[in-house]
Amino acid sequence: MTSTDPLTTALAALAVPAPPGLDDRVFARWAVAPSRLGDVRVAFTADGPQFVRPADGTDERVFAAAHRARFARPLRPAARVPAGVGPVLRGRPGARPALDLTSGSAFERAVLTATRRIPDGQVRPYAWVAREAGYPAAVRAVGTVLARNPLPLLVPCHRVVRTDGALGGYMFGPQRKIEMLRAEGADVDGLGTLARAGVRYLASDTTGIVCFPSCRDARRITPAHRHGFGSLDDARRAGYRPCLTCRPAAA
């Protein structure tokens, strides 16, 4: 039945369609996707994934509340995650989909961006991340950011280790960290042996280069030409120059 009230009629005449894209500016989307951690929930905006957490053990309301507390945006379900995200979640190397890091501070964005540059199957210490992020004195703060990493798997914080070379903890447990590094081809047992021996760098006397032990170049050093060092200064004093691939000088 059509209203004859003049006020109602006038208000109806003012109604206009919502501006294009308004819905995307108000809401983030979420979908479930398979990953190396099992099924995960992924919240994303038009700029890319924003928040990832395991689906097991939590329901949609808990996930939505955690996302809203951190990003101040409500969620709506979507049919699928953005293109290119699924392969990374499942562990396929090489893919680098766009991420939405806009909600963090400049420091947080720098830490997450630096961490994302660590190659598959390799590890870097927190000090390396701090320097690569542009905050060399903020090693402890780097650990705090990565402990709250909003995008595990997409930002591979499992590839960050303690300064002494020990693997250290992980937000989903140290065993998960070991499993994922092994799946990427890292020699976890070898890295542990070196860390316990106080060896944080490996050098080749044929190339004159010193690397992090997990660097692809360090893996090619034959035992007869391999030398271990506890510090980069010791390696430099012995005549070795830092690798340009793994950039140990950044630690």
Residues assigned a catalytic role: 157
Count the residues in the chain.
251
180: Cα separation from own chain's centroid: 13
For residues 226 and 166, give the distance between their C-alpha atoms in angstroms, rounded to a whole number: 20
Nearest-10 crossing angle of helices 139-147, 126-133: 100
For residues 149 and 222, give the distance between their C-alpha atoms in angstroms, rounded to a whole number: 37
Q: Which residues have CB under 8 Å from 9's CB, separation 6+? A: 3
Q: Detail the DSSP E strand segments found in the chain.
A: 28-33, 40-45, 48-54, 75-77, 124-125, 160-161, 201-204, 209-211, 226-229, 241-242
Q: Compute how many other C-beta atoms are within 10 angstroms of the C-beta atom of residue 134.
A: 13
**Cβ atoms of 43 and 67 closer than 8 Å:** yes
